[in-house]
Structure 1
């Protein structure tokens, strides 16, 4: 373990002892979010050491001009950045005239920071001796409210331990912030007004170019030993900052407390001319409630989430902490309450990847949200792509495609492509397949077909048209081929006939054709509307079918395996186990040229296809391909270990499955890739959930029924999870020798366990 400073605990992420080298890592690990906004776990007080300040408002972004040495036709004009939002958490603390700054104290003792995942709050405590030799005890607690999601709350306590002293609190709002990763050091925010009224302050600003209007606000209150002080304050305001200063004499052993409420009101949800008055209403509401009552509501909201989403593991604290950490951050990032939002790969924990939408949502996140929320949340994620269909058609047109062919973006905020690496943006086209697969997966799991005739078929037609045009007939092979692509394995660029891409292209066309046929028979008015809108003819459909039926798949007869792409066997096939540890991770040690010529696989590629289309292949085929490709896989993508864990479990290789599970669940906690300070891997966290439910639990949909093949790692005594299947909640408890099923619902459900049909009645425990 690399990040072994995190203490083992079932429900919390705990750091004990102050180490400046760990500050940025902990800021990522202990980030807070509530679906509408989020922030890294920065200190409230000033810190002059190495830190990555980050606060973010969901859906607010900036189009940072693409920085490339030369321009190519079709290049996206900008890379959409999740914006570092104005900082509302700041509280400068002065003790007898000296600023409290943990980077400069003489001594720091009993430092402890805890992210309590069960109740959704972050706390910190320490004893500091300043350079003026005053010793103080500091205790803080903060959270972002799930109930009132435009607000967060901070309680900041200071107790002088060795002297009576003057303690000044200066809570502030700061709009003078920048992104860590801006391309041109552009100014992202334009401040429109800075004002205050009583104990409330407001900064209204708008983003340049995208013109999002945001009011950042705060309300403050000072108490001594729990009694509220009514006192004068000094107000300091500047062009982009406002601070209140409260001065107090505090006796040794007494505790002075600053309570601060703050957050963001944006024109995504309110009239841009009413932002300050809306902020006032929200601040008045929460200050009337008070910190403790708001925290109690927070605990109740998280209890409700955990009741459905929790996975319990007995006998393995590292594994238990890992899965809860993943589930917690998924729920902090996206709760399904706003259909305009999606799940960024870093969530609210950093700026890398632009904070936008990737194919990860469809391939990894939808199964988690379908099973732990309800189908409306997953449907919102599908509708998000439907609403971007016109932009996907525009994206394809920019590259020379026509007739309504749709290429969904690799990275997007608003449906427009905004990723600026050519070999990924325009070659990693397999993402189109994940979007189609999510429609299939939603119908398979929920049984709700209505989405397809209403909206989904239009998406499938656009995607099928793209694959039809992207493939070309090879006279040499007498097959259709797809040239110049990057598969899920990004350590191979611009290859021909990537097996996964070709396979999902064929599947997308076949799936679109079968749905057109079904809708023609069963939903005639939808069929007529869609055919008219898409101008789809029978002759075009037969051309699609021709491409699907004659798709080329590279295969090696001698090894009896599909090849990742043409020419894979021309590489020097040295396995990962023969690579010196000093060469890992190769993406930080090797040149890109060397990586591209190597056989090393960043993440599951062919095995990704075997995961999605498991029922198309036998267990023997899976085993053969797993044994051939896994030894060349370096798992330097966060999306790789979970797929391998599921497949190793299916092959009864439980030690391997468990090792992959630990790697995916503790990827960030143990900082496997030495990059956690940049932010967490949010979307791969859904893969961690899949590695337990689909891997160890063996959950699948077979003949319209839930099916389980439960297995248990020998390190565990037992584990349990719940799934919401077609509005019936099934709890699964797996122990060493038996599995128990319990149904919360109103009607019996038929499930399969190791292929045998079992009937379960509501509130009646069935043990197998």
Structure 2
């Protein structure tokens, strides 16, 4: 059972807690309480073992293929969290004895996991436990654990086994060779793992430091090395009132770290550095290492964003902070060759692959709050041009055709081919996304446009951005199909954002986004031709974009764009959606579990109904509204009213777009209701919702609702617009965002809002069609 009002005083609305432990619902807390720093993610499994637990330590970018029949995935590296205690020879477990007090919580402000237990053993021994854990934001390689055990009763013999366990798999797939194991000075444990196919070396080290009643204690451990595992075992006796404190310090390094990439890499040198740093951090101890980590969170995150919210709905404040926390721990800020997985680094769901989730739902937060990270995420896509070009070539297209699922940039398409069971035929369902869900190519181009519009980062465009835009536009010009009867180009046989419609023709989202991609390439090319011929010449050597211009312009002019119905204003989602039969969706929209629809129908049947998995036309309106297209309130209203009743929201990506459109049409009540549902995707009462990992795109979507919906901060045709629509439940909202390399503070109340350019820098923005320019605070 989760508890969201546990924090008080300075920790009020900073604590996500579990107040009742249940072995039936391990996954929820393991995921939403997970720790990380973008370099690695540690699932919050308890120290003692339970059936059905899922131990995960995932390091970004370390993808490996188990076999040729499978796709790359982030391997589950050696576990350092498992510590098994024995009390008078009997295993400590909350399934035995009596638990008199239990609380486990994640302090979002300090990014520390804490678990406190008062426990009586089956033999009536009384003990209290306090477990603490963090993954450092200051030193990306460092994991700290601390356990304090206090004897509250008669004398007790206590022992514990701890070490490095590399026997873990990814649901049965073992991604590592046996590897070398060693224990130095009976204290420092070192495990070398090398992936079986990608040949990535991973060094995992750990050390233990013991104190009894605040006095350092050295006990010679019993050392054991077994297959893919090594442990140290300690035995001691605690009298009544005695307190044992164990600091367990661990370090993780890989040959994919920035400092080890290239010809200078040496495994022996990496091992030396890792061991040296382990010794130094072990000597410092948990508290000193944690304080540095806590300071990093304060300066790099909470002070930088300066998020403020006044509301009687305290859960909203907690959920907004929860989103910032997870956005921080999921992003690989240290490397531009790594993306964000659909489950971030909190679990094995989707194998650590990146989707359009990043560009459309997650990246906007960083574009407006931490542009350097946004740039790094876009450079990941630039590095991915290698695989995207190969995918285009393999499909007889030109330019760059981005993979639906991406792993390491050079891996190309990594979407699995086969999925869940077909309830009608009993066969495995084919996953078509990797073949025909092609809108991601234009989504990435849009993200480049949005980043450039918000930052004005010419250097990025010169080195990376223009090439992405040109190569993706070339793909679309080669992908279009000529309809000789209509004298127009079409895009047939695709999947749009609504994945309940496969092999459809002229998906409105795909067609409009492709048209935007083509238009952007033409605009950028013509601008460079007029203003920077040297750069264009350099880009031509790589892209031959000038030679492709005639094709791009013809494609843009002749591409079919589904138009709104003149009377209803409804844009057809595709050629046949509006002709399909309708059914009552109330049973499925109100279901406790996602995908309830497929208990009654298979995908082929759903394909013939007016049922959408998620926003499709609405996400088109939301994105196109940020370009030169004018998407009126009436157009948004009409399409919202038509498509929302037909949308199950089975995708966690869906609610945020609907909430933003609801804000745009000034339906504050509905917008807030959708926001309230969005924040419960991970934090709600459903104890099974997050078992495979958190919903990374939904977490990004929470902040899209706040930033683009409630605060109304938006790019509009490369200009900044601010049109707040604060829900009635909120009294004040404020934060600091970035625009054109300038820090801007916005403060919103029910009656007015103030835009303040910090450091006395001039800012220009539009509100309700009127332009404001100032280097001082402007109140409207």
Q: TM-score, normalised by structure 1?
A: 0.93
Report the 3-state secondary structure (helix = DSSP H, G, I; strand = E; otherwise coil) of the residue aligned with 1:163: coil
Deviation string 1:66-92 (CA, Å, 9 cap, x unpaired) is: 75xxxxxxxxxx422111110012212
| Displacement of 1:94 | 1.2
Which residue number in structure 2 is paired with residue 313 of structure 1?
309
Question: Given the superposition, is the C-alpha separation of residues 14 and 468 from structure 1 closer, same or farther in structure 2, using an over 3 Å criterion?
Answer: same
Q: Distance in 1 between matches of 2:378 and 2:135?
A: 27
Picking from 261, 274, 277, the partner of 2:249 is 261
| Displacement of 1:409 | 4.2
Which residue number in structure 2 is paired with residue 116 of structure 1?
107
Greater shift, 126-135 or 676-685, is seen at 126-135
Report the 3-state secondary structure (helix = DSSP H, G, I; strand = E; otherwise coil) of the residue aligned with 2:179: strand
Report the 3-state secondary structure (helix = DSSP H, G, I; strand = E; otherwise coil) of the residue aligned with 2:64: strand
Contact 2:201 2:267 in 1 (8 A): yes
Which residue number in structure 1 is paired with residue 197 of structure 2?
209
Contact 1:223 1:229 in 2 (8 A): yes
Report the 3-state secondary structure (helix = DSSP H, G, I; strand = E; otherwise coil) of the residue aligned with 2:237: strand
Which residue number in structure 2 is paired with residue 125 of structure 1?
116
- The answer to whether structure 1 residue 35 and structure 2 residue 38 are counterparts is yes
Deviation string 1:309-338 (CA, Å, 9 cap, x unpaired) is: 353322211111111111101101115222
Deviation string 1:268-301 (CA, Å, 9 cap, x unpaired) is: 2343222321221111221232211111111111
Question: Given the superposition, is the C-alpha separation of residues 757 and 51 from structure 1 closer, same or farther in structure 2, using an over 3 Å criterion?
Answer: same
Picking from 682, 690, 712, the partner of 1:668 is 682
Structure 1 segment 516-535 matched on structure 2, within 5 A: 516-535=525-544
Picking from 609, 614, 628, the partner of 2:620 is 609
Which residue number in structure 1 is paired with residue 206 of structure 2?
218
Which residue number in structure 2 is paired with residue 467 of structure 1?
476
Question: Given the superposition, is the C-alpha separation of residues 481 and 66 from structure 1 closer, same or farther in structure 2, using an over 3 Å criterion?
Answer: farther
| Displacement of 1:599 | 1.4
- The answer to whether structure 1 residue 633 and structure 2 residue 647 are counterparts is yes
Structure 1 segment 302-341 matched on structure 2, within 5 A: 302-304=297-299, 305-314=301-310, 315-334=312-331, 336-341=333-338
Contact 1:428 1:485 in 2 (8 A): yes
Which residue number in structure 2 is paired with residue 342 of structure 1?
339
Picking from 727, 731, 738, the partner of 1:717 is 731
- The answer to whether structure 1 residue 200 and structure 2 residue 200 are counterparts is no
- The answer to whether structure 1 residue 420 and structure 2 residue 416 are counterparts is yes
Picking from 541, 547, 550, the partner of 2:555 is 547
Q: Distance in 1 between matches of 2:559 and 2:640?
A: 23
Question: Given the superposition, is the C-alpha separation of residues 605 and 64 from structure 1 closer, same or farther in structure 2, using an over 3 Å criterion?
Answer: farther
- The answer to whether structure 1 residue 237 and structure 2 residue 225 are counterparts is yes
Q: Distance in 1 between matches of 2:381 and 2:368?
A: 20
Picking from 558, 566, 587, the partner of 2:575 is 566
Which residue number in structure 2 is paired with residue 94 of structure 1?
86
- The answer to whether structure 1 residue 160 and structure 2 residue 151 are counterparts is yes
Which residue number in structure 2 is paired with residue 22 of structure 1?
25
Report the 3-state secondary structure (helix = DSSP H, G, I; strand = E; otherwise coil) of the residue aligned with 2:581: coil
- The answer to whether structure 1 residue 387 and structure 2 residue 383 are counterparts is yes
Greater shift, 543-552 or 168-177, is seen at 543-552
Deviation string 1:544-595 (CA, Å, 9 cap, x unpaired) is: 2222212123444553322101111221223534768469643553332332
Question: Given the superposition, is the C-alpha separation of residues 205 and 627 from structure 1 closer, same or farther in structure 2, using an over 3 Å criterion?
Answer: same
Deviation string 1:638-682 (CA, Å, 9 cap, x unpaired) is: 111111111100101011100111222221111669431111011
Which residue number in structure 2 is paired with residue 429 of structure 1?
438
Report the 3-state secondary structure (helix = DSSP H, G, I; strand = E; otherwise coil) of the residue aligned with 1:236: strand
| Displacement of 1:407 | 3.6
Question: Given the superposition, is the C-alpha separation of residues 302 and 233 from structure 1 closer, same or farther in structure 2, using an over 3 Å criterion?
Answer: same
Which residue number in structure 2 is paired with residue 369 of structure 1?
366
Greater shift, 446-455 or 91-100, is seen at 446-455
Report the 3-state secondary structure (helix = DSSP H, G, I; strand = E; otherwise coil) of the residue aligned with 2:691: helix
| Displacement of 1:207 | 0.8
Contact 2:589 2:649 in 1 (8 A): no
Picking from 486, 494, 499, the partner of 1:485 is 494
- The answer to whether structure 1 residue 589 and structure 2 residue 589 are counterparts is no
Q: Distance in 2 between matches of 1:325 and 1:588?
A: 31
Q: Distance in 2 between matches of 1:308 and 1:335?
A: 18
Picking from 267, 271, 283, the partner of 2:278 is 283
Q: Distance in 2 between matches of 1:684 and 1:735?
A: 26
Report the 3-state secondary structure (helix = DSSP H, G, I; strand = E; otherwise coil) of the residue aligned with 1:506: helix
- The answer to whether structure 1 residue 44 and structure 2 residue 44 are counterparts is no
Structure 1 segment 350-369 matched on structure 2, within 5 A: 350-369=347-366
Q: Distance in 1 between matches of 2:719 and 2:439?
A: 29
Report the 3-state secondary structure (helix = DSSP H, G, I; strand = E; otherwise coil) of the residue aligned with 1:636: coil
Which residue number in structure 2 is paired with residue 294 of structure 1?
289
| Displacement of 1:140 | 0.8
Q: Distance in 2 between matches of 1:594 and 1:703?
A: 40
Question: Given the superposition, is the C-alpha separation of residues 513 and 757 from structure 1 closer, same or farther in structure 2, using an over 3 Å criterion?
Answer: closer
| Displacement of 1:405 | 4.6
Q: Distance in 2 between matches of 1:707 and 1:290?
A: 49
Gaps of 5+ in 2: 8-12, 261-265, 418-430
The runs of at least 4 aligned residues of structure 1 exceeding 6 Å deviation read: none
Gaps of 5+ in 1: 68-77
Deviation string 1:246-281 (CA, Å, 9 cap, x unpaired) is: 111101221111110013111123432223212211
Which residue number in structure 1 is paired with residue 240 of structure 2?
252
| Displacement of 1:56 | 0.8
Q: Distance in 2 between matches of 1:313 and 1:418?
A: 41
Report the 3-state secondary structure (helix = DSSP H, G, I; strand = E; otherwise coil) of the residue aligned with 2:190: strand
Greater shift, 581-590 or 642-651, is seen at 581-590
Contact 2:483 2:489 in 1 (8 A): yes
Q: Distance in 1 between matches of 2:591 and 2:739?
A: 47
Contact 1:18 1:108 in 2 (8 A): no
Contact 1:636 1:673 in 2 (8 A): no
Question: Given the superposition, is the C-alpha separation of residues 529 and 760 from structure 1 closer, same or farther in structure 2, using an over 3 Å criterion?
Answer: closer
Deviation string 1:451-501 (CA, Å, 9 cap, x unpaired) is: 333332222222112111211111232211111100001111111111111
Which residue number in structure 2 is paired with residue 61 of structure 1?
63
| Displacement of 1:383 | 1.6
Q: Distance in 2 between matches of 1:582 and 1:748?
A: 50
| Displacement of 1:160 | 2.0
Contact 1:644 1:657 in 2 (8 A): yes
| Displacement of 1:11 | 0.7
Which residue number in structure 1 is paired with residue 268 of structure 2?
273
| Displacement of 1:5 | 4.7
Contact 1:386 1:459 in 2 (8 A): yes
Q: Distance in 1 between matches of 2:561 and 2:545?
A: 28
Q: Distance in 2 between matches of 1:369 and 1:428?
A: 25
CA RMSD of aligned residues (A): 2.1
Report the 3-state secondary structure (helix = DSSP H, G, I; strand = E; otherwise coil) of the residue aligned with 1:222: strand
Q: TM-score, normalised by structure 2?
A: 0.92
Q: Distance in 1 between matches of 2:488 and 2:718?
A: 35
Contact 1:336 1:377 in 2 (8 A): yes
Which residue number in structure 2 is paired with residue 440 of structure 1?
449
Q: Distance in 2 between matches of 1:80 and 1:604?
A: 29
Contact 1:410 1:428 in 2 (8 A): no
Question: Given the superposition, is the C-alpha separation of residues 119 and 322 from structure 1 closer, same or farther in structure 2, using an over 3 Å criterion?
Answer: same
| Displacement of 1:612 | 0.7
Greater shift, 359-368 or 501-510, is seen at 359-368
Which residue number in structure 2 is paired with residue 70 of structure 1?
none
Which residue number in structure 1 is paired with residue 136 of structure 2?
145
Which residue number in structure 1 is paired with residue 424 of structure 2?
none
Report the 3-state secondary structure (helix = DSSP H, G, I; strand = E; otherwise coil) of the residue aligned with 1:597: coil
Which residue number in structure 2 is paired with residue 496 of structure 1?
505
Contact 2:25 2:687 in 1 (8 A): no
Q: Distance in 1 between matches of 2:235 and 2:592?
A: 56
Deviation string 1:162-195 (CA, Å, 9 cap, x unpaired) is: 2211111222111111112xxxx44211122111
Deviation string 1:95-134 (CA, Å, 9 cap, x unpaired) is: 111111223x121121100100001100001122223332
